[in-house]
Amino acid sequence: MHMADALISPAVGGTMWAATAGLIAFSAKKVKEEMDDRKIPLMGVLGAFIFAVQMINFSIPATGSSGHLGGGMILSILLGPWAAFLVMASVLIVQALFFADGGLLALGCNIFNLGFFPCFIAFPLIYRKIIGAYPTEKKVFWGALIAAIIGLQLGAFGVVLETVFSKISELPFGTFVLLMQPIHLAIGIVEGLVTAAVVTFVWKARPEILSAAERSLPIGQVDIKKVILGLVIAAAVAGGVLSWFASSNPDGLEWAMFKTSGREELESHASIHASLAGLQEKTAFLPDYGFKKVEPAEVETEVDIKTPWPAVDPGTSVSGLIGGGLTLLIIVFVGLGLRRR
C-alpha cells in the first residue's frame, strides 16, 4: 500500500507532509515523557522486524493480487501509539530513501495511512475497548485481529481519498474504492491473524509490555531479553530468507489501479515528481530491495522469462539485513536523543 508520487498532487502531498510532520513532533514530545532505557531497544528491534515483514508479499487466492503486512497494530499494542507512530515513520523513511519503496512526495501520505489509522484510531477505539480492564488471551487475540483489519481498511480508504483529491490520475472514486476496500479486507485478515499471533506470543511471555503500552507507561525493570532476542531472530530470518518467497503478483494498490485504469503504474509529467524521482534514484543504493542492475544498451528480441519461485537472490537478503539494521540504528539514535533531552 505504498503510494507512488504519480498518484499525488503537490498540494495533497505537501498537506499530508505537514500533517505527518506535526504528528511526528507531537509523538516525539509524548515519547520523551514516557521514555525509559528498556523501551529504546524494543522500539529498535520492532522497527527492524516490521521492515523485514513488509518485504514479504503474500498472494491473495483467486485474484492475481498480493499484499504485505502494515505492522501498525503490532507496534501500537507493544509500544503504545506515540512510540509506534515514530517507529512506523522511521521504517517508511528508510524504505523510501534507500530502497525506493514509495515516493518521496507521497511519503507523508504513506506514513499517515500506515501509521495514523492503526495507532490513533484502531488501537484506542477498538483494541482497548475489546480487551477492557481485565485482558485474557482470547480478548488479546480478537482485539488484535479486529483492530488490525479495521486499521488497514481505514488506511486503504485514505489512499483512495488522497488519490481522488489530487485529481491527476485516471482513477474514479466509485470504481477505485469498490476495488481497494475488498482486496485490502483480504489482506487485512492475514495481517490480523499475524498481528494476533505476535501479540499473543508477547502477552504470554511478558504481559507487562502490553500493560505498559496500553497505559503509556515506562516498561520499568521488566526483563525483555527473550522478547528482544525472538524479534531479532524473526527479523533476520524474514528479511534474509523468507523475503525470497515473496509473491511477484501486484500488491493490492497496484491491482486496484490496473483494474480501474488498465495500468499498474501511472506516469506523471510534473516537474516536482521528476525532481524527487531523480533525488530518490541517487539515495536508493538498493532499489526495489536488490542490487542495482545495469540495463543493456540494445535488446534485439524480447523474451518472456518467468521469474523463478522462490526468488533466491543475495541482493534481497542483503537488502533485508541492511534495511533492518538501518531502521534499528535510526530508531535507537532517535530514542537516545529523546531520552537525553
| Model confidence pLDDT, tens digit, residues 41-74 | 999 999 999 999 999 999 999 899 999 999 999 9
For 26, other C-beta atoms within 10 Å of its C-beta total 12
Assess if residue 297 is contained within a domain.
Answer: no
- Encoded amino acid at 325, one letter: G
Assess if residue 301 is contained within a domain.
Answer: no
Assess if residue 304 is contained within a domain.
Answer: no
Q: Which three cell numbers stand for residue 66?
A: 498480493
pLDDT tens sequence across 248-292: 899 999 999 888 877 767 776 567 888 988 999 999 999 999 988
For 147, other C-beta atoms within 10 Å of its C-beta total 30
Cα–Cα nearest to 69, from 86, 57, 83, 79? 57
Assess if residue 24 is contained within a domain.
Answer: yes
* pLDDT mean over 286-311: 68
Assess if residue 280 is contained within a domain.
Answer: yes
Q: Where are the beta strands (DSSP E) in 5-116?
A: 58-60, 65-67
- According to the model, what pLDDT value does residue 294 have? 63
Q: What is the pTM of this model?
A: 0.93
**Is 180 within 8 Å of 172 (Cβ atoms)?**
no
- According to the model, what pLDDT value does residue 12 have? 95
Domain containing 31 equals 5-218+226-286+310-340
- Encoded amino acid at 204, one letter: K
Task: Please give the tally of structural domains in the chain.
Answer: 1
pLDDT tens sequence across 176-210: 999 999 999 999 999 999 999 999 999 998 899 99
Degrees, nearest 5: CA angle 89-32-119: 40
DSSP one-letter code for 317: H
Assess if residue 296 is contained within a domain.
Answer: no
**Is 251 within 8 Å of 280 (Cβ atoms)?**
no
Assess if residue 298 is contained within a domain.
Answer: no
Assess if residue 35 is contained within a domain.
Answer: yes
We report the CATH number of the domain holding residue 245 as 1.10.1760.20
Cα–Cα nearest to 211, from 135, 139, 141, 119? 135
